[in-house]
């Protein structure tokens, strides 16, 4: 009996590029989103890699979705280069603005159901969390809304297509205690979040051949990624205005801390390693700095 093809959905997020020189702040210290360069966040990239793994290993169909303004399509293009995705979804509407994680999850739930020619997804993959003030709740909440079991911090997984189940390894860090690798078996459909350390490995000849083929395909697809892009507004998603955007967001923000503006104050001094006098001076300086440094 031929196995049912595997449909994968990934939800990603466009994030400000926090690497030096790319961040821009408003005068009041808040992030200037318009000026800051945006990239596919590292956590989303890990999720995308997990989808690529499904593509290479199980010949899966992959759809990638994101909620955000139209510029978010850049993140989708990046995600396509990584994963050789077949569909790129952008969920974009003014009324989605101001959404908290729950309202976002509602949009994503609807998005997932539109994925893969409306077949939805057997596995939905998200990143562990985003780096711009997200709390790691979007994934689990979307899973809850979809009614899928949720497996977090996945570092490795296999799919049994015949029995329609997943066997996943998840990494649990118990601070100050010890680390645990937990193995979980769950039926499909399932929602997993990829651990930031996730790295797929391809260990057989057929996987490596498929890897090479997919990398080539991804490159040529991404060259005209617009062809794969589908934009959905609230209406197209069939969203209930009460559950999306600001009205759908029960979260009360108690206090916002300003982003500590790190004004570059570093000064570089070069020291000739062969010159003992200069080395002495450097050691003294370090000692002084260390004794003066406030201990927090």
Applying CB under 8 A, the residues found at the interface with another protein are: 203-206, 208-209, 212-213, 268-270
Pick the closer one to another protein by CB: 217 or 240: 217
Pick the closer one to another protein by CB: 197 or 216: 216
Pick the closer one to another protein by CB: 36 or 278: 278
Distance CA 36, CA 30 (A): 11
CB of 52 to another protein, least distance (A): 17
Residues 64 and 51 sit within 8 Å (Cβ to Cβ): yes
Pick the closer one to another protein by CB: 160 or 217: 217
CB of 277 to another protein, least distance (A): 13
CB of 98 to another protein, least distance (A): 46
Q: What separation, in Å, do the N-terminal and C-terminal C-alpha atoms of the chain show?
A: 64
Could you tell me how far CA 76 lies from the centroid of its own chain?
11
Phi, psi of 182 (to 5 degrees): -105, 140
Pick the closer one to another protein by CB: 137 or 210: 210
Distance CA 201, CA 188 (A): 22
Q: Where are the beta strands (DSSP E) in the chain?
A: 7-11, 14-16, 38-40, 61-67, 87-91, 123-127, 150-160, 165-173, 179-187, 190-194, 229-232
CB of 219 to another protein, least distance (A): 12
């Amino acid at each position: 009996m031929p196995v049912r093809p595997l449909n994968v959905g990934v939800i990603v997020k466009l994030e400000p590029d926090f690497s030096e020189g790319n961040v821009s702040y408003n005068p009041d210290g808040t992030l200037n989103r318009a000026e800051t360069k945006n990239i596919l966040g590292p956590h989303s990239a890990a999720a995308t890699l997990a989808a690529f793994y499904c593509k290479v290993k199980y010949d899966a169909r992959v759809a990638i979705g994101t909620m955000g303004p139209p510029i978010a399509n850049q993140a989708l293009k990046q995600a396509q280069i990584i994963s050789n995705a077949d569909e790129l979804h952008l969920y974009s509407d003014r009324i989605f603005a101001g959404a908290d994680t729950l309202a976002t999850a509602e949009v994503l739930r609807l998005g997932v159901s539109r994925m893969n020619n409306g077949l939805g997804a057997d596995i939905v993959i998200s990143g562990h969390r985003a780096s711009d003030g997200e709390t790691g709740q979007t994934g689990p909440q979307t899973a809850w809304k979809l009614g899928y079991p949720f497996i977090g911090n996945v570092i490795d997984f296999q799919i049994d297509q015949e029995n329609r189940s997943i066997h996943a390894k998840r990494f649990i860090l118990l601070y100050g205690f010890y680390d645990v690798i937990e193995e979980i078996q769950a039926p499909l459909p399932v929602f997993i979040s990829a651990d930031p350390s996730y790295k797929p490995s391809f260990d057989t000849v057929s996987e490596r051949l498929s890897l090479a083929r997919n990398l080539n395909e991804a490159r040529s697809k991404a060259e005209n990624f617009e062809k794969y892009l589908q934009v959905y507004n609230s209406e197209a998603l069939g969203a209930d205005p009460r559950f999306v955007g600001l009205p759908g967001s029960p979260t009360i923000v108690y206090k916002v801390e300003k982003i500590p503006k790190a004004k570059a104050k570093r000064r570089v001094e070069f020291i000739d390693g062969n010159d003992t006098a200069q080395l002495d001076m450097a050691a003294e300086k370090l000692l002084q700095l260390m004794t003066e440094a406030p201990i927090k």
